[in-house]
Every structure is written in C-alpha cells, then in structure tokens.
Chains A and B, each alone.
Chain A
Amino acid sequence: MIREGAGFRELPPAAIVPEPGTSLKNKTGSWRIFRPVVDREKCSKCRICWLLCPEGCKIELEDCFETDLDYCKGCGICAQECPYKAIEMVLEEGSSIA
C-alpha cells in the first residue's frame, strides 16, 4: 500500500496501483453518512435491493437481506426501491447534515 502523505518521488508513476486487490484494503464504507437498517419482519427477500445495489453490498441471510457495511456508501437506493419499505436510512453516529 502507498503511504499516506507520500511525496511525488516516492509515489509509483502515473498514479498506477502496482499491486492487485487493494480495494479489499480500502474500506469505502467510511464515506457513508446514512446507514441502511432493515426491518426483518417486513423484508420478503424479493431481491430488489440485491439487484439494484450499485456496490454489490447486499448479503443474503436466512430471513432477510443485510448490508456489507465495509463497502456500503449509504446511497439509499435500496431504501428508495424496497417495495415493502423494509429499509430505513439512519444517520451514522458522528455524522450530521446541515
């Protein structure tokens, strides 16, 4: 991994990422402001959220679909599209909106 704060001489050329699989180390879930919270009673496992999640973050469980919070950026598409209104977007702790 590239050191945070590295100078231009230290960085690899042309902004390349010289090793594979670095997306596993970069937990983009940290960008999230709102977190999807599923109501397990209302979820019918229709898979709409799984189909539409742009990050592929929906994980199938026995009784419902949950979210991989390491990579969910909190876009809210799942909550918007859920036909059963089973997903609520909840403000993350420490986040605020003006």
Chain B
Amino acid sequence: MPKQAVISGNMAAAYAAKYARVDVIAAYPITPQTTAIEYLSQWVASGELDAEFVPAESEHSAMTICIAASASGARTFTATASQGLALMHEMLYIASGLRTPVVMMIGNRSLSSPLSIWNDHQDSMAERDAGWIQMYAENVQETFDMGLMCYRVGEDSRVMLPAMFCIDGFFLTHTYQNVVLPDQEQVDEFLPPYSPKYRLDPSNPIAMGTVGDPRWYMEFAKQKVEAMEAARGVVEEAHRDFEKIFGRRYDPFIERFHCNDADYIFITMGSVSGTFRHVVRELRKEGASVGLVRIRTFRPFPYEELREAISGAKVVGIVDRSISFGAMKSCGPLFLEVRAALYEQEKKPKTVNLILGIGGRDTTPSMVRECFKKLESVDERREFDVFWIGLRE
C-alpha cells in the first residue's frame, strides 16, 4: 500500500532516487541541497539502499563520476545548487554530449556575489542551453514525482539526455509537506531497469568521448537537438503512464488555472506559483478576469502549449526569478522565450516582465496584487516594461 509521510523536499528528492533503485550517487554538499545527500548516504551506510555512494571533492568531480558511471550503464543521481552547479557547467555539456542520462536535483539558490544561500532561479536558468531536460516543481509531492519522471524521460531510448528537476531552495528543500510514497512495485513498473544500447563494457569494447573535428561536430550537435525534440512526445507519454500507475495527473508541460476566459494571465515557475494561485483565486472572487499558467517542463520549452493557453489574453505577466543582464531592458530569460514564442501569432497579448524574489526575497500576496495592478495598467501603445517587484527605490 502506498503510504503517507510528512517529509521535506530534499527527502522527497532522495526518496525519488531510492525508489528509482539508483546504482551510483556522487555529490558534494552545498546549502540548500545538503540534507538530500545526507539521507542517501545514511541509507547506503545502513544497507537500506544498495548503491555506491561517492563523496566527491567538488561538484565538478561529482558530475564527472555520475557521467562515467552512467556511461557504464549505471543509474545515477546527484544534487547541487548555485555555485556548485556553476562549477559543474563544463561537465553538463559533456553529460548531454555523451548522452548519459544522469539525473540531478537542483535546490535552486542565488549566485554570488554578494553571497546568498537563498532562493531564486539564476543558477539553473544559466544552464538552460546545456542540453538537459529541465523541470520545476511547486511542492514536495511534485518533487518526488518529478525525480521519477526525470529518469523515465531521460533514459528513454528516443531521448538519452540528462535531466534536472529544480526545487526552490528552502521554500521546497526544507519545507515539510504530506506526501504519498508509492509501492516499490509501482515505481518498478513505471521505471524499468536502465539498459542503454551502448555502454562501457570490457567484454564489448567501444570508445566514448572522442574528438569531433569540423567534419563531424555539427552532426552530433544535431543529434542532441533531435533527442530534445523527441523528448516532447516522451514527456507526454510518461505523464500518461504516470497517471495510470500512480493515479496522480499532471499536465506534462504547463498547468492552466482559470486561463480560458482570462484577460490577464500570469506565467510562473516553481514554488511562487502557490502564492500566485492563491491571489488569482481571491481576485476571481472579486470579479477580476485573471488566470495563471505554471510552467512545469521548461526544457524542452512548451512554446506551442503556451501560445494556445495565453493567446486569448489581453496582457500576460511573465514572472522571472532570474535576470538576463543586458538582454532587452535586462529582462528575465523566461520573458524572452515566452515573447519569442508569440512572435508569429497574429493575435497576441501585450507582455510585461515581473522580476521578483531575487536572492530569496519573499513574494507576498500583496506583491502579487501589485503585479496584477501592473498588468491592468498596461498601455496598448507602450512598449513592454520590466518591473521589479519588492525592490526598494
């Protein structure tokens, strides 16, 4: 029987790896990811989890170990945040280039400097072009479910790409919520053992990590693109199977809340979506025509789903918890992509960028109401604005 437990986001991520029957875990501790790895090391030490636990000397090494283990056919797990993810940057491209479906939890944390251990999305958004599947969870249950989903999608023979599931530092990593943990048999049904077509095996030698000179490199880059595009269908298929086996249904790419007839729509990712949904519900009661789209899968980017969901709106407020310094009006990266997705549309809403919660600053319901006022006050003739919400002038 599936059981209920009150656990943190970090423990949910650790449980996802455990239920996935992970073979190799390599990691280096960093706030706010640390306890996820501590749980796994305890389970390995006590014999509760039959896996290899490698305490690496850096995040760079942790990722390298996972890539090598994955190349040999092992199911792998690591977790990091912030500077740790930045240190992995070089190896992230190698993981996707070698087509090793490593799974990683990100406990989203701001980037130095100034030093901040608190939450925003700058760390994972900086890696959005690295060839990794990226998903963003809103709560602890979804953290666990996305962990399993990352293995399922990444290891699919049509995909074979690494995958990261991103959970907001402290807001999710250290928040305890009631979670349903499944039966092991359910997970085994959802997630068959990892068996790649090619792997490092002394009895059947192959070479990996070769040189791609200018005669070859482009073709392998295109293979990666094909894999990422194929992931769109695989993500949908995996979510259908997930519902069948676990009885929980998620929209694979975007969750729509009061969108159908809304004049004003917010687009969010991650835990702040809960605050936005709460305020949208209140505003609806007050008669406002407002809705919310929450992006769950960011890579591959759901541009078609987004177009369909928001093209009927008058104004769309895209919430960024990161900044693309020097982009158009130094807006956020999510804003850039949503706007780009609308470019070909004949009928398109006005867009507004709402930058908030940078470096862990709280986003309160009153701030969301302030966001709504910004949307309402958009002038048809004016070019887009980038608003910083909660900033002291």
* CB contact under 8 A between A14 and B97, given known A20-B205, A20-B206: yes
Q: Which residues of A contact B99 (CB under 8 A)?
A: 13-14
Flag B208-228 by CB within 8 Å of A: 1 or 0 each.
111110001011101100100
Q: A18 CA to B226 CA in the complex, in Å?
A: 20
Q: Which residues of B in the span 89-113 have a Cβ within 8 Å of any Cβ on A?
A: 97-99
A16 touching B208 by the CB < 8 A rule? yes
B178 to chain A, nearest CB (A): 41
A34 to chain B, nearest CB (A): 22
B59 to chain A, nearest CB (A): 23
A11 touching B210 by the CB < 8 A rule? no
Q: Does A17 contact B (CB under 8 A)?
A: yes
Q: Which residues of B contact A7 (CB under 8 A)?
A: 219
Q: Which residues of A in the span 11-26 have a Cβ within 8 Å of any Cβ on B?
A: 11-20, 22
Flag B142-160 by CB within 8 Å of A: 1 or 0 each.
0000000000000000001
Residue in chain A with minimal CB distance to B198: A16
Q: Given contacts A6-B219, A14-B97, A20-B207, could you give 11 more A-B pairs where the C-beta distance is less than 8 Å?
A: A8-B219, A8-B223, A11-B220, A12-B198, A15-B97, A15-B209, A15-B216, A16-B198, A16-B206, A19-B206, A22-B207
Q: Which residues of B contact A11 (CB under 8 A)?
A: 216, 219-220, 223
Q: A11 CA to B206 CA in the complex, in Å?
A: 14
Q: Which residues of A contact B207 (CB under 8 A)?
A: 16-17, 20, 22
Q: Which of B197, B207, B208, B211 has the most CB of A within 10 A?
A: B207
Residue in chain A with minimal CB distance to B197: A13
Residues of chain B at the chain A interface (Cβ within 8 Å)? 97-99, 160, 197-198, 205-212, 216, 218-220, 222-223, 226
Residue in chain B with minimal CB distance to A13: B99
A23 to chain B, nearest CB (A): 9
A13 touching B210 by the CB < 8 A rule? no
Q: Which residues of A contact B98 (CB under 8 A)?
A: 14
Residues of chain A at the chain B interface (Cβ within 8 Å)? 6-8, 11-20, 22
A17 touching B206 by the CB < 8 A rule? yes
Q: Which residues of A contact B97 (CB under 8 A)?
A: 14-15
Chain A at the B interface: mostly helix, strand, loop or mixed? Answer: loop
A15 touching B220 by the CB < 8 A rule? yes
Q: A7 CA to B218 CA in the complex, in Å?
A: 10
Chain B at the A interface: mostly helix, strand, loop or mixed? Answer: loop
* CB contact under 8 A between A18 and B219, given known A13-B99, A13-B160, A13-B198: no
B206 touching A14 by the CB < 8 A rule? no
Q: Which of A6, A12, A16, A18 has the most CB of B within 10 A?
A: A16
Q: Which residues of B contact A15 (CB under 8 A)?
A: 97, 209-212, 216, 220
A-B residue pairs in contact (CB < 8 Å), sample of 21:
A7-B219, A8-B218, A8-B219, A8-B220, A8-B226, A11-B216, A11-B219, A11-B220, A13-B198, A14-B98, A14-B160, A14-B198, A14-B220, A15-B212, A16-B206, A16-B208, A16-B210, A17-B210, A19-B206, A20-B206, A20-B207
Q: Which 7 A-B pairs have the closest CB atoms?
A: A8-B219, A17-B207, A20-B205, A14-B99, A8-B222, A15-B210, A15-B220
Q: A12 CA to B218 CA in the complex, in Å?
A: 14
Q: A3 CA to B95 CA in the complex, in Å?
A: 26
A3 to chain B, nearest CB (A): 12
Residue in chain A with minimal CB distance to B217: A15
B98 to chain A, nearest CB (A): 5
Residue in chain A with minimal CB distance to B199: A16
Q: A18 CA to B210 CA in the complex, in Å?
A: 11
B68 to chain A, nearest CB (A): 14
Residue in chain A with minimal CB distance to B216: A15
Q: A85 CA to B300 CA in the complex, in Å?
A: 62
Q: A11 CA to B210 CA in the complex, in Å?
A: 13
